[in-house]
Amino acid sequence: MKVLISNLIIMTSIILTIGILSNPTIVAFSQESVSITPGAPDEGNLEPFAPNAINVISGSTVSWTNDDITEHTVTANEEGSSAAPPLFDSGPIPPGMAWDNKFDSPGTFGYHCSIHPWMTGRVAVG
Ligand SMILES: [Cu+2]
């Protein structure tokens, strides 16, 4: 019985390893990074947040790094009641600094910069 269980553990480990190696997106469950790009608020910057849209697994932490020279925020779009507080709001992120948010619930979360509301992005949590 002990041998059976240890074999089962080894087999499971091998299957998980193969799964992770053959599908790099599986690694995204732990940490996903988004850059607030240089010149993010400039007109014509099509990707103020890069990647602009990301897909993560529930429980993932997404980290936004401000690679621009001015402050930006990562603020959830208000959906439904305008009285409800945003699901997440980084507040101003200084240049060179990062802000993390953990996504525990599945759903699609649009967000923007509250200082430059035309800067938009999206996190899809599966
Ligand atoms: Cu901004």
**DSSP secondary structure string for all residues of 10-75:** HHHHHHHHHHHHH-GGGGGGTEEEEEE-TTTTSTT-S-SEESSEEEE-TTEEEEEEE-SSS-B--E
The arithmetic mean of pLDDT across residues 63-89, rounded, is: 83
Q: Quote the ligand 1 centre to 85 CA distance (angstroms).
A: 19
Q: Quote the ligand 1 centre to 68 CA distance (angstroms).
A: 9
Backbone angle region of 91, left / alpha / beta, with phi > 0 → left and psi within -120 to 50 → alpha: left
Percent of the chain past pLDDT 90, that is, above it, reads 61
Quote the CATH superfamily of domain 29-125.
Answer: Cupredoxins -  blue copper proteins (2.60.40.420)
Q: Quote the ligand 1 centre to 73 CA distance (angstroms).
A: 6
Is pLDDT of 71 > 80? Answer: yes
With bands split at pLDDT 50, 70 and 90, how would you rate the model's confidence at 7? low
Q: Does pTM surpass 0.85?
A: no
Give per-residue pLDDT as tens, 94-111. 999 999 999 988 889 999
